[in-house]
Chains A and B, each alone.
Chain A
Amino acid sequence: MTKAIGLEVSLAIAEAVKQANVDVVAAYPITPQTHIVEELSVYVANGELDAEYIPVESEHSALSAAVGSSAAGARTYTATAAQGLAFMHEILFITSGLRLPVVMTVANRAMSAPISIWNDHGDIMAERDIGWIQIFAENGQEAYELTIAAFKIAEDRKVLLPICVNVDGFILTHMIEPVTFIDQKKIDDFLPPYSPALTLDPDKPATFGPVGVPEVYIESRKQCEQALLNSKAVVQQVLEDWGKSCGGKYKLVEKNGNDKAKILFITMGSLGETTMTAVKELEESGESAGQVRIRLWRPFPREEFLEAIADADELIVIDRALSPGAHNGPVAQEIKALLFNESKRPKVHNVIAGLGGRDVTVKDFQKMYAMAKADELGPNYLIWGVRSDA
């Protein structure tokens, strides 16, 4: 491993895709993802990356082309955000339904309307149920390393599912962070070329995507779900191996702060870094605060999560998306549903914070903590920072 260099995270992600030696990049620009595919086009243009770069005419076609190339047996990458992801919606289901290991970066961004280019998780939360593996990076190094690991996970014969690596738009994508690149040789050893089980091969003709009559549809969906559930073990294994060979250390669920803390923040994505500072300061002032970071969002790491919160009395679940009409954000819904049948159930507060790029600071987390202690966060959810004069 070499020295860290300061680099925009988007460019580090592009480097990861290059080092993964992809065969096809299907690209359509949307802020804040654009720098990734721009950089990849440069790599292809100057011969640093031997891949077909398809400058498609829409995100719908980006994912459709990705489906085609992956079905043909090629290692395939694309990236998008917000409206682009929503435009892919129909094909997202088809990618997982056809069991194609496409890797996609989602530079998380708020959904229109009103149009906002800034970060929240509204885009990916609207795509919770698509059968993709969904993983969240918290900083630049993670974004880089998880992108490479994503290919390994998705292409594992036991998995064969598409995967999206979520990186917070701007907060991560446009930030210059220290990133340590991994030796190409190490990556090549870790990630050999994609060897698919079944492709569109004239020597072994197969029919992809036939009509699912009522006699088989349920079973095929069940198989897909089972594949997603089974992928957890592979994700864990790959991240562990990755740690051993390349230095990064990743768990599906990570704890930070006092191990026995009574009040835990639950975070996903880059806000976790700010929370970490808040937790540290709270602890220094004698509070019992901790943090649990969810790295794998789909399949949800149920056992690991329950273990991580075993000693807590209260959880402050931070959501970066609204689920209108549901009385809780998507992450809180997940956690409440998970706890319902457990004998020990911590109290769950839900704070929806940072929508559309609104800043959430260390002070905000300290205030949330104080409010949780004083039981002022309310029984369901609280949208943080709504201006009363708005």
Chain B
Amino acid sequence: MLNLPELENFEKITAKNIPTENYISPGHRACQGCAEILALGMVMKVAGPNTIVANATGCMEIVTSPFPQTAWKIPWIHVAFENTSAVASGIEAGIKAMSRKGRYSKELPNIIAVGGDGATADIGIQALSGALERGHNFLYVCLDNEAYMNTGIQRSSSTPYGASTTTSPFGSHSIGQTTWKKDMPAIAAAHNIPYVATANPGFHLDLMNKVKKALTINGPAYLHIYSACPTGWRSKPEKGIEVSKLAVQTKVFPLYEIINGKLTITKKINKPKPVVDYLKTQRRFAHLKEDDIKLIQEGVDEQYSKLLYLEGDTQES
């Protein structure tokens, strides 16, 4: 059960064979230093030309498609904010039926649904859950910039504790976001789908190999990608990759994959940097006091131990 046959002859992407072709053209309108578009570009490099993307409303949709221009070199569809998984379900089903009936004679394409954290963890969670449960063969990519950026930095259920956003502003009576980040990969994994992983553009080979695995496996796959957003996080545009790396090195955003229920941490952090190193790179956390930071450090440590536990626990069985 643990190893999927599709992964047996899996050829890893390395610095030597990294795909060079881009499927999102330069000239899109993402902000300077946007790591979300970088991550999406990496996903597309691996997916290649035989791919169809359904994109939820959000930054990536807006910046890549103002008519009459398009940054997409592959077929792409935007329908609405909350339904990209359902749209992808329809595309997959339609092509499957036509292929069976002899009206689609090419190799079946990769079908990828893309949504922000809002489109994934909040408004679109129902459609996502439905599509995962039904077992459509598609990859869902959540580009997690930890807020609704397209509408101007409002909090989402994926916004971390303490972050100041335009609807969770810090003030004399508030620390900012008062809830802890929703554990979306765990929710996806609870659907017992074959592949769930977290990724980060600061670790591009890891990210690309996860995309490749997700697309190789038959059935639904979920990839949760950390996506630094200098505009919304009030961080320096040129520091996107540095911030991304810090998120992993401080254990704030651990990298792992869950293949057929088995969790593996893909980047072990044995000598973590303190969380404060990460927090101070972003002005959304600038108001936090020492006690708040201590609390966040404890939260981060606890989450990481949970992963270690899950990793060990599943290995035993």
Chain A partners chain B: yes
Tell me, rounded to whole Å, the shortest Cβ–Cβ distance linking A191 to chain B: 15
B94 x A211 contact (CB < 8 A):
no
Closest to B109 in A: A202
Residues of B within 8 A of A66 (CB): 90
Q: Is B279 an interface position by the 8 A CB rule?
A: no
Q: Is B101 an interface position by the 8 A CB rule?
A: yes
Closest to A217 in B: B67
B86 x A56 contact (CB < 8 A):
yes
Q: Is B189 an interface position by the 8 A CB rule?
A: no
Q: Is B231 an interface position by the 8 A CB rule?
A: no
- State in angstroms the CA–CA spacing of A209 and B78 once bound together: 5
Closest to B90 in A: A68
Among residues 78 to 135 in chain B, which have CB atoms less than 8 Å away from a CB atom of chain A? 78-80, 82-83, 85-98, 100-101, 103-104, 106, 109, 126-127, 129-131, 133-134
Residues of A within 8 A of B5 (CB): none
Q: Is A72 an interface position by the 8 A CB rule?
A: yes
A206 x B75 contact (CB < 8 A):
yes
A57 x B76 contact (CB < 8 A):
no
Which of A47-55, A155-163, A302-310 forms contacts with chain B?
A47-55
- State in angstroms the CA–CA spacing of A211 and B63 once bound together: 9
Closest to A206 in B: B75
Residues of B within 8 A of A201 (CB): 75
Q: A61-B83, A202-B106, A211-B61 given as contacts; is B91 within 8 A of A54 (CB)?
A: no
User: Chain B residues in contact with chain A, CB under 8 A?
Assistant: 49-52, 54, 61-62, 65-68, 70, 72-80, 82-83, 85-98, 100-101, 103-104, 106, 109, 126-127, 129-131, 133-134
Q: Is A213 an interface position by the 8 A CB rule?
A: yes
User: Chain A residues in contact with chain B, CB under 8 A?
Assistant: 23-24, 26, 50-52, 54-58, 60-62, 64-74, 76, 90-91, 94, 98, 193, 199-213, 216, 220
B79 x A209 contact (CB < 8 A):
yes
Among B80, B95, B104, B130, point to the contact of A94 (Cβ < 8 A).
B80
Residues of A within 8 A of B87 (CB): 64-65, 67-68, 71
Closest to B130 in A: A57
Residues of B within 8 A of A207 (CB): 65, 70, 72, 75-77
B130 x A211 contact (CB < 8 A):
no
B86 x A205 contact (CB < 8 A):
no
- State in angstroms the CA–CA spacing of A51 and B96 once bound together: 9
Q: A209-B79, A211-B66 given as contacts; is B96 within 8 A of A52 (CB)?
A: yes
Among A61, A209, A211, point to the contact of B89 (Cβ < 8 A).
A61
A90 x B94 contact (CB < 8 A):
no
B109 x A210 contact (CB < 8 A):
no
Residues of B within 8 A of A52 (CB): 93-94, 96-97
Residues of B within 8 A of A67 (CB): 79, 87, 90
A205 x B74 contact (CB < 8 A):
yes
Tell me, rounded to whole Å, the shortest Cβ–Cβ distance linking B107 to chain A: 9
Residues of A within 8 A of B70 (CB): 207, 210
B67 x A210 contact (CB < 8 A):
yes
Among A55, A65, A220, point to the contact of B90 (Cβ < 8 A).
A65
Among B78, B103, B130, point to the contact of A208 (Cβ < 8 A).
B78
Residues of A within 8 A of B65 (CB): 207, 209-211
B127 x A212 contact (CB < 8 A):
no
- State in angstroms the CA–CA spacing of A388 and B40 once bound together: 64
- Most central of A61, A64, A68, A199 by chain B CB within 10 Å: A68
Residues of B within 8 A of A60 (CB): 82-83, 86, 126-127
A24 x B101 contact (CB < 8 A):
no
Tell me, rounded to whole Å, the shortest Cβ–Cβ distance linking A244 to chain B: 28
Q: A94-B80, A202-B51, A211-B62 given as contacts; is B98 within 8 A of A73 (CB)?
A: yes
Tell me, rounded to whole Å, the shortest Cβ–Cβ distance linking B151 to chain A: 14
A51 x B51 contact (CB < 8 A):
no
Tell me, rounded to whole Å, the shortest Cβ–Cβ distance linking A87 to chain B: 11
Residues of A within 8 A of B49 (CB): 202
- State in angstroms the CA–CA spacing of A73 and B131 once bound together: 20
A216 x B129 contact (CB < 8 A):
no
Residues of A within 8 A of B92 (CB): 68
A58 x B76 contact (CB < 8 A):
no
Closest to A51 in B: B97
Residues of A within 8 A of B76 (CB): 200, 205-208
A91 x B83 contact (CB < 8 A):
yes
Closest to A61 in B: B86
Q: A61-B127, A208-B75 are in contact. List 4 more A-B contacts (CB 8 A).
A: A24-B97, A68-B89, A205-B74, A213-B66
B86 x A65 contact (CB < 8 A):
yes
A208 x B83 contact (CB < 8 A):
no
Could you pull out 24 A-B pairs where Cβ atoms are within 8 angstroms?
A23-B97, A24-B97, A52-B93, A54-B89, A56-B134, A57-B126, A58-B127, A61-B89, A61-B131, A64-B127, A67-B79, A69-B94, A71-B77, A71-B91, A71-B94, A74-B93, A74-B95, A91-B80, A200-B91, A206-B76, A207-B76, A208-B75, A210-B65, A216-B68
- State in angstroms the CA–CA spacing of A199 and B75 once bound together: 8
Among A50, A70, A203, A204, point to the contact of B94 (Cβ < 8 A).
A70
A73 x B94 contact (CB < 8 A):
yes
B67 x A24 contact (CB < 8 A):
no
Closest to A69 in B: B94
- State in angstroms the CA–CA spacing of A241 and B300 once bound together: 69
- Most central of B61, B90, B100 by chain A CB within 10 Å: B90
Q: A26-B90, A54-B134 given as contacts; is B98 within 8 A of A64 (CB)?
A: no
Tell me, rounded to whole Å, the shortest Cβ–Cβ distance linking A164 to chain B: 18
Tell me, rounded to whole Å, the shortest Cβ–Cβ distance linking B73 to chain A: 6
Tell me, rounded to whole Å, the shortest Cβ–Cβ distance linking B184 to chain A: 18
Residues of A within 8 A of B90 (CB): 24, 26, 54, 64-72, 76
- State in angstroms the CA–CA spacing of A314 and B51 once bound together: 60
- State in angstroms the CA–CA spacing of A208 and B72 once bound together: 10
Residues of A within 8 A of B93 (CB): 24, 52, 54, 65, 68-69, 74
- Most central of B67, B75, B130 by chain A CB within 10 Å: B75
A72 x B94 contact (CB < 8 A):
yes
Residues of B within 8 A of A94 (CB): 79-80
- State in angstroms the CA–CA spacing of A94 and B65 once bound together: 16
Tell me, rounded to whole Å, the shortest Cβ–Cβ distance linking A219 to chain B: 10
- State in angstroms the CA–CA spacing of A76 and B94 once bound together: 8
Tell me, rounded to whole Å, the shortest Cβ–Cβ distance linking B125 to chain A: 11
Residues of A within 8 A of B133 (CB): 57
Residues of A within 8 A of B106 (CB): 202-203
